[in-house]
Amino acid sequence: MKPGTSALAISAFIGSVMATGATQAQEYLGQPTPGGIGLQDSASPLKEQATWFHNWVLMPTIVLISLLVLGLLIWVVIRYNKKSNPVPARWSHNTAIEVLWTIVPVFILVGIALFSFRLLFAYENMPEPDLTVKVTGNQWNWAYEYPDQGVAEYISSMLPEDEARARGVPYRLAADEPMVVPVGQTVKLLVTASDVIHAVALPAFGLKTDAVPGRTNETWFRADRVGTYYGQCSELCGVDHAFMPLEIRVVTEAEFAAWVASRGGSMTPAAPAAVPAATAPAAAPTVGATTDAAAPAPTQTDPAAAPAAASAPAAAPAAAQ
Ligand SMILES: [Cu+2]
């Protein structure tokens, strides 16, 4: 009983410390807070859920178990030391308690798993995306591309120290060319790498997705608030691993449209229709949809890949016979 009530008090204390951290984080939205011990303030629904899982499932469980073990230790030390218990009992094994200390942890883990799966499904079930950004990790910078808006791939590098200080932005987090996205819209990230494994990690949006060469991983976020959010490569990728920050600038829809235009893109992509029009003019009106920007690419790569794939199985049986 005693450990239970003190556990609640300690949980409440941790909660209040985190709340203080959260208010302090307001001025450090999207970046680490000096002296902060909690999670970064969330700016997307996924991070909201991840924070809730951490604060209300993991932390109370950890605190309660730690206090229970501490209580048991103190009890044993006081009650069963040589002075207060000079003649120790001779029995070992107690079936009831052994069954209990096996089954209770199983239930605790199942309880954690239920909440954990809910969070995993939330990450997995991406809503219909409003915008797709292709993110490529390079040694040592990031490349962003907006296929549906016709914004060609551009490189985002860390801002040099003097420039970062001059602009009043955090050095080693700020980038020269950030990723720009509109507020309140679902952004799908297609994450890959060109050389070694990197990882897209941005705490305020709860993002952490590996960027693996030859593979495309997906993740998503929906920024709740306008602002600038910082993250870092989160997979050791070489000597300059610490110098490839991710900066995502969340702007209003009008600002986003202006940014796309400044990049030579368009919010109503017409470019994809021009490619099929050359080969099949009749089909052009039906392929004007926004999602068809990527359509020409697979048709170009498929024929190249198909003969190679077809010849390999054909060669194998021949060799076997
Ligand atoms: Cu990296």
What's the gap in Å between 24 CA and the centre of ligand 1?
30
Mean pLDDT of 44-59: 95
What's the gap in Å between 236 CA and the centre of ligand 1?
6
Average pLDDT, the chain: 83
pLDDT, position 311 = 42
What's the gap in Å between 47 CA and the centre of ligand 1?
22
pLDDT, position 131 = 95
Convert the pLDDT of each residue in 220-258 to its tens digit: 999 999 999 999 999 999 999 999 999 999 999 999 999
What's the gap in Å between 69 CA and the centre of ligand 1?
40
pLDDT, position 127 = 94
Mean pLDDT of 5-28: 55
What's the gap in Å between 248 CA and the centre of ligand 1?
16
Output the CA angle 313-318-320, nearest 5 degrees: 95
The residues that bridge with 180 in the sheet, in sequence order, are: 249
What's the gap in Å between 220 CA and the centre of ligand 1?
19
pLDDT, position 307 = 43
Q: For residue 205, what are the CA distances in angstroms to 45, 243, 248, 286? A: 8, 20, 10, 36
pTM recorded for the entire structure: 0.72
For residue 288, pLDDT beyond 60: no
What's the gap in Å between 75 CA and the centre of ligand 1?
49
Q: Which stretches within 80-216 are classed as H helix?
A: 95-124, 161-167
List of domains in the chain: 33-86+94-125 (1.10.287.90), 131-262 (2.60.40.420)
